[in-house]
């Protein structure tokens, strides 16, 4: 994954399998990137599935388009992608990381998705010392510094912080995540498809209680919850990442 050029890394992609009746839609979170799903997508494609990863409006480039987008544009983008896959495939799953999980659950509330998999999805967020320290390390540490965790965060960050004076204008979009969490919480009872909830206990951005809240409020869905002991919000321990892949395989395999 790390050999992909950054401009390509942030591009949406589609890995088609003509013989497949199953498609998986991957949705990244706020400031995230389709590239986060490259390894998952390639593994699923090797299993004979079609995999599509979207790039949400305003992401993958300069600061201004991000500032000028909103929840409605992000949701519409996911809904359209899901609807197109549903026209072609009998079974459509959605994997959402962070805010992408919120968008995916809202899509599942109105469309007949076969299943949803959420990774570190924020019904509740948190600000921690670890989060602030990590942000400083990402900003101040040289990109040449060979640290797998920092590299994972840098690669998943798709929006340019240039010009720097525009960064404070990102605040309304960042607050949208909290607002979207509250909006999603209200409609969770409308989701009636299986939901696999994966949450990192060391997540510096999402309060792990979010996973428990999802289970409690998804009253009409068949839910399964997995906690990761070592992983963080956008970085996953190698052994736990292998477990994530295994659980995704189990979730999307034909019955």
Lowest mean pLDDT across 27-41, 129-143, 164-178:
129-143
Q: Angle at the Cα of 110 (from 109 to 111), degrees rounded to 5? A: 105
Q: Which residue, among 202, 225, 226, 206, has the nearest Cα to 215 in the 3D structure?
A: 225
Contact in structure between 6 and 33 (CB atoms under 8 Å): no
- Is the pLDDT higher at 40 or at 145? 40
- CA dihedral (118, 105, 6, 235) in degrees, to 10, reads -20
The pLDDT assigned to 156 comes to 78
pTM for this model (two decimals): 0.90
- CA nearest 122: which of 185, 206, 226, 32? 206
More confident residue, 231 or 143: 231
Evaluate whether 222 touches 136 at the Cβ level (below 8 Å).
no
Q: Does domain 11-252 have CATH number 3.20.20.70?
A: no
In this predicted structure, the answer to whether residue 5 has a pLDDT above a threshold of 60 is no
Domain ranges of the chain: 11-252
Which segments within the chain are labelled E, that is strand?
13-15, 22-27, 50-53, 91-97, 115-119, 195-200, 223-228
Of 16-25, 60-69, 72-81, the least confident: 60-69
Model pLDDT, residue 134: 61
Q: How far apart are CA 175 and CA 170, in angstroms?
A: 9
| pLDDT tens per residue across span 99-125 | 999 999 999 999 999 999 999 999 999
Tell whether the model's pLDDT for residue 3 goes beyond 60.
Answer: no
Confidence of residue 133 (pLDDT cuts 50, 70, 90): low
Q: If DSSP codes are grouped into helix, strand and coil, which group holds residue 194? A: coil
Does the structure show a pLDDT above 60 at 185?
yes
Give the confidence band of 151 by pLDDT, cuts at 50, 70, 90: confident
The per-residue pLDDT for range 217-240, each reduced to its tens digit, is 999 999 999 999 999 999 999 999
- C-alpha span between 63 and 9 (Å, rounded): 17
Q: Please report which confidence band the pLDDT of residue 132 belongs to, taking 50, 70 and 90 as the band edges.
A: low
Of 28-32, 58-62, 107-111, 233-237, minimum mean pLDDT range: 58-62
């Amino acid at each position: 994954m790390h050999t992909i050029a950054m401009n390509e890394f942030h591009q949406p992609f589609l890995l088609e399998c003509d013989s497949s009746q199953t498609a998986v839609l991957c949705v990244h979170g706020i400031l995230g990137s389709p590239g986060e799903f490259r390894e998952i997508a390639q593994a699923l494609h090797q299993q004979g599935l079609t995999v599509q990863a979207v790039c949400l409006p305003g992401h993958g480039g300069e600061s201004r388009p991000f500032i000028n987008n909103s929840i409605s544009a992000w949701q519409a983008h996911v809904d359209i992608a899901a609807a197109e896959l549903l026209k072609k495939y009998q079974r459509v799953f959605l994997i959402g990381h962070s805010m992408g999980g919120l968008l995916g659950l809202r899509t599942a509330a109105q469309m007949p998705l076969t299943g949803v998999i959420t990774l570190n999805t924020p019904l509740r967020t948190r600000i921690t010392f670890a989060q602030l320290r990590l942000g400083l390390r990402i900003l101040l540490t040289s990109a040449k510094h060979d640290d797998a965790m920092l590299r994972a965060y840098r690669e998943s960050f798709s929006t340019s912080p240039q010009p720097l004076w525009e960064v404070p204008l990102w605040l309304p979009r960042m607050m949208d995540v909290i607002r979207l969490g509250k909006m999603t919480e209200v409609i969770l009872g409308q989701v009636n498809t299986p939901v696999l909830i994966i949450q990192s206990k060391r997540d510096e951005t999402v309060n792990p209680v979010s996973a428990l809240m999802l289970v409690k409020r998804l009253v009409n869905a068949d839910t399964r919850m997995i906690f990761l002991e070592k992983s963080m919000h956008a970085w996953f321990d190698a052994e736990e990442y292998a477990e994530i892949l295994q659980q995704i395989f189990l979730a999307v395999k034909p019955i």
